[in-house]
């Protein structure tokens, strides 16, 4: 069974939010609701990659964010920088931090989720915890604030699996608010959008190797 098709109405204002530009790479602040790359249906052609390439034809995606996730996204401008940055992701030299609002009162102040993830064969493209076939997946979490029915967390993935943060939060019994893939109805309807934002991004510059740091204010 595959996931149901979604109605796609990507945000258009602002059209692009450029955070940083140099000869090697670009950093953008992606809004929730915009695909990183085009989908197969013609109506899914509008995406961050297409918008960027209309202005920077040489730009290429280095990593992705889920359509519903907002925040910092990196693109390369040369084949050399694309290879360099891609290797940094593979070797886990890139550090990313997310902010999330999750359902309920999370017990404790911080922790590490260490649960292997794999594609759910009965519900593609959903992911699931699979101790037999899953790939190692780790997420650090820390409480930022507590609300009446929710907890604001700082999430730092040690690995970069598909839907990792969403499935790991679900595994704790605290799905991310507004998550139409994994949350139960109360949590899903508690927010108008997925409450997950890529707030911090750090990596080595492809030229010279200086550590680069970028931040994006959380919109929720």
Give 18-215's CATH code, choosing from 3.30.60.50, 3.30.1020.10, 3.30.1300.10, 3.30.2350.10: 3.30.2350.10
Summarize pLDDT for 47-99 with one digit per residue, the tens. Answer: 999 999 999 999 999 999 999 999 999 999 999 999 999 999 999 999 999 99
Query: What is the pairing mode between strands 117-119 and 110-114?
Result: unpaired
Query: CA angle 9-12-17, nearest 5°?
Result: 130
The domain segmentation of the chain, as residue ranges, is 18-215
- Look at residue 5 in the predicted model and tell me its pLDDT: 58
Summarize pLDDT for 147-197 with one digit per residue, the tens. Answer: 999 999 999 999 999 999 999 999 999 999 999 999 999 999 999 999 999
- Look at residue 6 in the predicted model and tell me its pLDDT: 76
Active site residue 110: no
% of the chain exceeding 90 in pLDDT:
95
| DSSP secondary structure, 111-156, as one string | EEEE--EEE-TTSBT-EEE-TTTPBP-EEEEEEEEE-SSEEEEEEE
Q: Which residue among the candidates 24, 29, 66, 179 is catalytic per the annotation?
A: 66
């Amino acid at each position: 069974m595959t996931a149901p098709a979604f109605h796609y109405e990507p945000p258009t204002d602002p059209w692009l939010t450029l955070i940083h530009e140099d000869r090697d790479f670009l950093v953008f602040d992606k809004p929730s609701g915009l695909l990183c790359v085009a989908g197969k249906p013609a109506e899914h052609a509008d995406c961050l990659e297409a918008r960027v390439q209309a202005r920077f034809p040489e730009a290429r995606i280095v990593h992705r964010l889920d359509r519903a996730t907002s925040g910092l996204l990196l693109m390369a401008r040369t084949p050399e920088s694309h290879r360099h940055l891609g290797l940094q992701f593979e070797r886990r030299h890139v550090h990313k931090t997310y902010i999330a609002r999750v359902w309920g009162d999370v017990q404790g102040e911080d922790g590490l989720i260490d649960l292997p993830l794999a594609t759910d064969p009965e519900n593609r493209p959903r992911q699931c915890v699979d101790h037999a076939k899953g790939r190692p997946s780790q997420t650090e979490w820390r409480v930022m604030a507590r609300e009446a029915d929710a907890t604001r967390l700082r999430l730092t993935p040690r690995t970069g699996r598909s839907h990792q943060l969403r499935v790991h939060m679900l595994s704790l019994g605290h799905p991310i608010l507004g998550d139409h893939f994994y949350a139960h109805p109360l949590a899903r309807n508690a927010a108008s959008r997925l409450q997950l934002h890529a707030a911090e991004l750090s990596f080595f510059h492809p030229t010279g190797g200086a550590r680069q740091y970028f931040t994006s204010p959380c919109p929720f």
